[in-house]
Chains A and B, each alone.
Chain A
């Protein structure tokens, strides 16, 4: 069934939302919830927190609808809100880190997972998971500002100028962050790219050390 808003732009929808049209808001949220969830999950590293942040972002969008200026691009305004909420969340939780065990089965990160993806052989599935895990670990090692920049640039496909507006910095700063982040990622992933066997992750032990520090404090 075709949506009544199929050919309506985000900005036009936002204009309808400003006039109290909840269907328009629902359509906007539907358009972005998948992308935004992936973005937030990659940034905070925890799917439940990402879901909470996604809902908080959508709520903030609705509550602040009057502040959206029709001349701007809705997606950038949306990502600005999401990024600010996610940065706040990480700032509050940076000192102490809990192991988040909320990944749905098949997407678990730091737990022993008993599942395999459907339709793939065990080795294919394991290889895909391993590459995905290596990338995730590498990106997680980046400082927050670089991580955010890479996520917006590589995964959200934003131009440097757009990222600069979302993050409230200059285009030169974005360019510099992308450069530093990419060089670090190249270094972090060098072993895999060189075709070397990558040793099993000691991620769990690292996390546990963090947690043990909390428990013992």
Chain B
């Protein structure tokens, strides 16, 4: 076996995907070839390093919402409105015009859909969805930070919303550094953060989505 063939077999060797005969031939070559042995060591180290990428911890039980959707479908109620809004979030809008159209569509949809009212939280975020906003919940100042300074010209498109308190935010930053405050909100721009005391959150189970431009503090 030559070096070229050996090198090509190394990942499969480490993954135990070679036949006995292939393993025997490869190990024979490795005993006499420092180059291939070194390459094997490097691949082993690479594989070990890959382990450092940790698993994602589920933030909730997703199966519950899936079961709810299945039950709703079986009752003949489709979640088309909600899915439509989610799809708009998923599609990446290439231009500001299309983004604006999405904003108008979503807000318009929310207004005319009748059962999805728009609510504005104390911190100026427009939310559409079923349910009420929770009263202001005091948050220790050190846990919630607002940007103290953002220039209007630095503001790009912000798509934001909540899904059971989990913020859903996508934004184009226009090339600026992005920060997240401790409560999971996201801002971009230059300057520091100042503290605020509280903010409204949607109630548990309230499924809300919104598309709003980031407002200046």
Contact = CB atoms under 8 A, between A and B. Distances in A.
Q: Do A and B bind each other?
A: yes
Size class of the contact patch on chain A: 35 or more
B26 to A, nearest CB: 13
A105 interface: yes
Given A33-B61, A160-B12, A178-B15, A102 B178 contact: no
B216 interface: no
Contacts of A193: 42, 45-46, 49
A126 interface: no
B151 interface: no
A113 B184 CA distance: 10
Interface stretch (B92-100, B105-113, B119-127, B198-206): B92-100
Contacts of A204: 177-178
A136 B136 CA distance: 38
A111 B180 contact: yes
Interface SS of A by simple majority: helix
Given A128-B52, A175-B12, A182-B43, A108 B63 contact: no
Given A204-B177, A211-B175, A160 B53 contact: no
Contacts of A48: 163, 166, 168
A153 interface: yes
B143 to A, nearest CB: 10
Contact of A132 (B10, B53, B66, B145): B53
A53 B205 CA distance: 20
B176 interface: yes
A74 interface: no
Interface string B53-77: 1111111011101110110000000
Given A93-B90, A159-B17, A26 B175 contact: no
A182 B40 CA distance: 11
Contacts of B55: 34-35, 38
Contacts of A30: 61, 63
Interface SS of B by simple majority: mixed
Interface string A157-188: 00110000000000000010011001101100
A185 B50 contact: yes
B169 interface: yes
Contacts of A178: 11-12, 15
A179 B179 CA distance: 38
B170 interface: yes
Interface in A1-43: 22, 25-26, 29-30, 33-35, 37-38, 41-42
16 contacts: A26-B67, A34-B57, A51-B59, A59-B66, A98-B170, A99-B172, A101-B170, A104-B166, A107-B56, A111-B186, A114-B182, A135-B52, A155-B50, A160-B12, A186-B46, A204-B177
